[in-house]
Structure 1
């Protein structure tokens, strides 16, 4: 992009107005449970979540004749609609200058390990279809004059498979999919919170939710029952689990709900952490051009004194500036990049400044301060200097380089009354994405019959992944879930199942939980969970701290079971239940992480496992950093995943080998009958 881009184009790509929903369906059916009278809504398939993955699943199901309904806590309020998902990583075969093949892309997707090989191949193959269908729906992916999609390099991607519509790429994806869902007349229940899964002898039977619109004298908490044959978890990740988070406010995900339903979780030790603006203002990842223009980074102490703290870590101005730039495509923290004065030393330095109680800023109106010599665009590492030269970004100041390379980056913050052309931007190291989640097979099926998971709710990503591939995964598996449900023929009409028993049990459980006079405060639970996760399960972990945190998390859940929750008014019930479930999910994460570390697991992906006997010792210009000496990752751990399930009050952890992909060549005449007869949907590939 250049300065010649008209303002109206910048506005259209930044101010993405979402469509209005149609009136919600009504029902005449009710079910009396004790003194309560609850409305009952029926559908064939119910999707929990209205982000890009959930909408894709719903749209594709509707096209296949499934009677599908969407349920959302807050329409257009989730991660893909509100957070910094600015790119989608796709197959590059359609570009004129870059070749690719599906197996090579699959290898890149699963290169971090702990990912099923067949899943990676599915995501690679499905990316072409995902991109083409989004373009058909109106997603304005950029092209050159020959029709090739414009691409660039992103984190964990050496080929250059990423493309972008600007900082609102994922919101634009949600918009076009939402417009299609509305056009297809898919019923949509907004402001509705899922709190309990209903099951019968066959598997999924429905859902208990809280819907304030259904509140009445005989139903003061607004409880509602949904009967369905198929249930799709698509409500994103546990953004509220960490205090230091770049997730939009109110993103709880459904990991606790899944555990209570008997679903197995996988890879929940694996997350992404990186620099971004705090959620108290406008949460956004500071990757890409924000750092590639090389702003000045500094901290401010309680006395207002500025500290040029990166000079305590890097040896030269050139080394520091080049690694600030590399945070653009090496955005997530990675322990190995703390070594040899690489880019994650920037994350470590910022994290330690925050621990000192200092506020950290980047200033686009100043170049980095000198360490050994003044900053100069001519004194940068070769890869950095070449990139900026090819981009034509030879301007004197970072803000001018940013205007030239990506004016949308400036416009985005202006929408939230932050003008980075005149003042600095405060930021920190935050939790951004969970790579783990609910365990699924090649069709998105969980270990409970009738329940599926897609998007960040599912645990398909492994340890690391190319930036933007999570959006692609949600689109690919949203389609595959729809294909599987459609082929079953079991959700073509609304469920007629009797849910009175399952519904009654779920309502009784919830009422027992939230009607205790001496119950715990859900606000206190929030404070405890977020502090524990940010302080003991962030980018730096030790065996002792994680074990202690796990024990504290288990104690908290024991207290919740014994005492319940204190709820002062009916409108707090949904939030209180969500924090009870978040406490459960937090214990699951810490239990899996404690198990991993105790078994000798090393540093990978999100975290450095700090150990005084560790093999890796980061260095700074002032010498070794013994407090962050860490274990290196064991190669054997890349070939398996940690699964967690809830049995009674206990978290059970098991180790499962990754599913393999043999790469067998298909043969038309041999394999066509399986497609024609639906045999492809009946392979025994459910999670082990």
Structure 2
């Protein structure tokens, strides 16, 4: 029996209003640099980004009496506030009903390989603290009558460690953290786009000294680019992932992340070959992952060609109606595409089929008012004819209603309400979707305290490359909360808070301004639209779920050519309002080259299919099958075990991408803490490893 949830409850969990920012502080100084009058502000620490991870870092820094400010391109406009999935999750290890413990959870987090074992354990241990503190701030995570956290199974997690307060879980996280940051009077600088990280070499090491940012409100005749200088000895990069990198993307528009910014500053990036792709609605409308109950209610999936004819295309891939329907269901907790799940008629055949339909120019829909059409020659769809795991799940959920929309209304009415907020009524009309890029598992290389290879710079959230090849769904949210806290602890312990340490060299700033001026062209240069189209088309068509060695090599060559053209011709920028976007697209072109360089390196070294991508090869060991026979053109390489044990690092040296590898950091599961022995290390701060100031040193 469906329990009707009152509309006001649905509204509260769907229409999540964000708090209003207070009055923005002034820039109290001005500096004459390169003939321009540039506003200056000094701070002990700057957090770049106002998503869940960045807000956590800012709140924890402020609680430790660190003079911290937040700089944001668009407050509440990032991925954690605007995007997500049906059941976006946090992870819990606070119950043991299925034999869970921190070590087991760490193994699940790192199980895909190419992930540091110590980081996985840190995320597992920190998950309890992260969840409890969010509950303290008011995040309405669900409980049972005895106070236990309600949990469920998600992708790459067989135990069931995920929990959720509906499709707006991450937005609710942002809300409660933002309210706390505002309560603590953390200064926000909104509509402020960081375009350069300033560094200097001191005592044989590179250190951060500040940031150059663009603010349209500061544009004047004396400051035509609207530049501001923020002098600071500590920077936390938390600006998310490179959402604009792909044409087919579930990221909100305008999500550029900070990888290009990081590469230009000399930061190392890691695992940027690793992403997640899966089915979701297009970014032209309301981008959203179609995981969880959207597919667990088993809607009818079909395509429409240019003539308006419907195609029941999944029957070309699956042999029986039961097999088809059961694998549509499994996309709920096997949402990301994975090459191995194309084998043996598993769930990633759904992704492949959708991708190939769109490649034909067809539009793909799911209809919640229709059950799946039967495979020709087979019995019609029936809830009683499903694989055992699927039938058991739906039975336990009480989802025995006749139509998918009724099953969805019973299992997750918030899923329907969410789309209604964006003028899409999935109860009345089919929903168009595609295979989209959703998350980069790689990012800026950091150590166990979030430190990068430049002193004073930290990275957290999707900006950090802490994930491996795969990760349990929701682990990214948890990682951002755990490392946001750890970074704050480390910064406080390091006492990098003296304002006088953050003096920026006028000559260095003048040099950066000259480089920016040379890149921006008012009457010539490459148009922003041209760069955007070329970057996004290349990445979606050549670095998506299906990759081929020759195509990746050609794409890399084209990406290098584009960056040479940008260096030579510059980027066209005819309006003051385009300055930040012009720089961001120049940096996104750089990120595209870095990703393709790492992917080309991996493939040339003999790397196989893993995580997000199938490396198609006519000599590959794995051959996907379909109902109509072998998919010979999709034969792919199998992943090599040795590749799981290492990570690929990229660093920009001059105009070249330097690529190296390193083994995963290990974690001794047999080691045990001892209170009297180890307490002094906590009391004295030895645990923070302050003498070792950066990654790789």
Q: For the superposition of Structure 1 and Structure 2, which TM-score range results when normalised by the shorter chain?
A: over 0.9
Whether the 8 Å CA contact 1:439–1:687 is kept in 2: the answer is: yes
Determine if the alignment matches structure 1 residue 226 to structure 2 residue 230.
Answer: yes
1:165 paired with 2:165, answer: yes
The alpha carbon displacement at 1:219 in A equals 1.2
Please name the residue that 2:95 is paired with: 94
Provide the residue aligned with 2:113 in structure 1. Answer: 113
Q: CA deviation at 1:687?
A: 2.7
1:534 to 534, 537, 540: 540
Contact 2:521/2:574 (CA < 8 Å) preserved in 1? Answer: no
Farther-moved stretch of structure 1 (489-498 vs 275-284): 489-498
Number of the residue aligned with 1:459: 465
Where do residues 43-192 of structure 1 align in structure 2 (5 Å cutoff)? Answer: 43-85=43-85, 86-94=87-95, 97-192=97-192
1:248-282, Cα deviation, whole Å (9 max, x unpaired): 00000011110000000000000000000000000
Q: CA deviation at 1:521?
A: 1.2
C-alpha distance in 1 between matches for 2:559 and 2:89: 36
Given that residues 112 and 464 in structure 1 are in contact (C-alpha distance below 8 angstroms), is that contact kept between their aligned partners in structure 2?
Answer: yes
Aligned partner (choices 340, 344, 361) of residue 340 of structure 1:
344
Instruction: Rate the CA distance shift 1:2–1:502 in 2: closer, same or farther, 3 A.
Output: farther
2:644 is aligned to 638
Listed one character per residue, the Cα deviations across residues 314-364 of structure 1 (whole Å, up to 9, x for unaligned) are 000000000000000000000000000000000000000000000000000
Q: Which residue of 1 aligns with 2:681?
A: 674
**Structure-to-structure mapping, 1:417-566, within 5 angstroms:** 417-491=423-497, 493=499, 496-515=502-521, 517-566=523-572
Give the CA deviation at 1:35: 2.9
- What's the CA shift for 1:672? 0.6
Output aligned runs, 1:598-677, within 5 Å.
598-663=604-669, 664-677=671-684
How far off its partner does 1:54 sit? 0.3
Residue of 300, 306, 316 corresponding to 1:302? 306
Q: In 1, Cα distance between the equivalents of 2:505 and 2:78? A: 30
Three-state SS of the structure 2 residue aligned to 1:201 is: strand
Q: Name the SS of the counterpart of 2:152 in structure 1.
A: coil
- Output the CA distance in 2 between the equivalents of 1:394 and 1:544: 49
**Cα distance, 1:8–1:494 mapped onto 2, change above 3 Å:** farther
- Gapped regions of structure 2 (runs ≥ 5): none
Please give the TM-score of this superposition, normalised by the length of structure 1.
0.99
> For residues 206 and 14 of structure 1, what CA distance do their matches in structure 2 show?
39
Contact 1:227 1:499 in 2 (8 A): no
- How much does 1:84 deviate? 1.1
- The residue number in structure 2 matching 1:38 is 38
Cα distance in 2 between the residues matched to 1:89 and 1:636? 30
TM-fit CA distance, 1:215:
1.4
CA contact under 8 A between 2:272 and 2:441: conserved in structure 1?
A: yes
- Give the match for residue 687 of structure 1: 695
Give yes or no for contact 2:92–2:163 (8 Å, CA) kept in 1: no
Structure 1 residues 685, 345: CA separation in 2 closer, same or farther (over 3 Å shift)?
farther
1:496 CA displacement = 4.8
1:403 is matched with which residue? 409
Q: Which moved more, 1:436-445 or 1:210-219?
A: 210-219
Offset at residue 4 of structure 1 (A): 1.7
Distance 1:487 1:171 in 2: 31
* CA distance in structure 2 between the aligned counterparts of 1:495 and 1:69, rounded to whole angstroms: 17
- 1:366 Cα deviation (Å)? 0.2
In the aligned structure 1, how far is the partner of 2:23 from the partner of 2:358? 47
Correspondence for 1:389: 395
Shift of 1:627: 1.1
Match of 2:9, SS state, is helix
Paired residue for 2:333?
329
Q: What's the offset of the Cα at 1:94?
A: 3.0
**C-alpha distance in structure 1 between counterparts of 2:607 and 2:482, whole Å:** 31
Whether the aligned pair in 2 keeps the contact of 1:364 and 1:399 (CA below 8 Å) is: yes
Q: Could you say which residue in structure 1 is the equivalent of 2:579?
A: 573
Deviation per residue, 1:90-140 (Å, 9 max, x gap): 233336x33311110000000000000000000000000000000000000
Q: Write the distance in 1 (CA, Å) between the matches of 2:693 and 2:676.
A: 24
Distance 2:3 2:251 in 1: 31
Query: Residue 286 of structure 1 aligns with which residue?
Result: 290
Q: Are 1:366 and 2:370 counterparts?
A: yes
Contact 2:646-2:661 within 8 A present in 1 as well: yes
Matched-pair contact (CA < 8 Å) for 1:296–1:364: yes
For residue 32 of structure 1, report the CA deviation from its aligned partner.
1.2
Within 2, Cα distance between the matches of 1:492 and 1:149?
42
RMSD between aligned residues: 1.2
Equivalent residue of 1:298, what SS?
A: strand
C-alpha contact (below 8 Å) 1:617/1:626 kept by paired residues: yes
Cα deviation 1:596-622 (Å, max 9, x = unaligned): 000000000000000000000000010
Q: Distance in 2 between matches of 1:45 and 1:506?
A: 21
Q: Does 1:215 align with 2:223?
A: no
Q: What are the Cα deviations for residues 526-577 of structure 1, in whole angstroms up to 9, with x where unaligned? A: 0000000000000000000000000000011011111111111111110000
Q: How big is the shift at 1:423?
A: 0.5
Distance 1:310 1:685, change over 3 A: farther
Where 1:546 maps in the other structure, the secondary structure is: helix
Give the CA deviation at 1:77: 0.4
Q: Is the 8 A contact 1:59 1:181 kept in 2?
A: yes
Q: Give secondary structure in 2 for the equivalent of 1:170.
A: helix
2:270 matched to which residue of 1? 266
C-alpha distance in structure 1 between counterparts of 2:383 and 2:657, whole Å: 53
Runs of 4+ in 1 over 6 A off after TM superposition: none
* Counterpart for residue 350 of structure 1: 354
Cα distance in 2 for residues equivalent to 1:538 and 1:42:
42
What is the distance in 2 between the residues matched to 1:502 and 1:614?
A: 51
> In the alignment, is the contact (CA less than 8 A) between 1:208 and 1:507 conserved in 2?
no
- Does the residue aligned with 1:470 lie in a helix, a strand or coil? helix
Q: C-alpha distance in 2, partners of 1:271/1:404?
A: 33
Q: CA deviation at 1:494?
A: 7.2
- Secondary structure of the residue that 1:555 maps to in structure 2? helix
Which stretch has the larger CA shift, 429-438 or 664-673?
Answer: 664-673
Tell me by how many angstroms 1:508 deviates.
Answer: 1.5
1:409 is displaced (CA, Å) by 0.1
Structure 1 contact 282–416 (Cα < 8 Å) conserved: yes
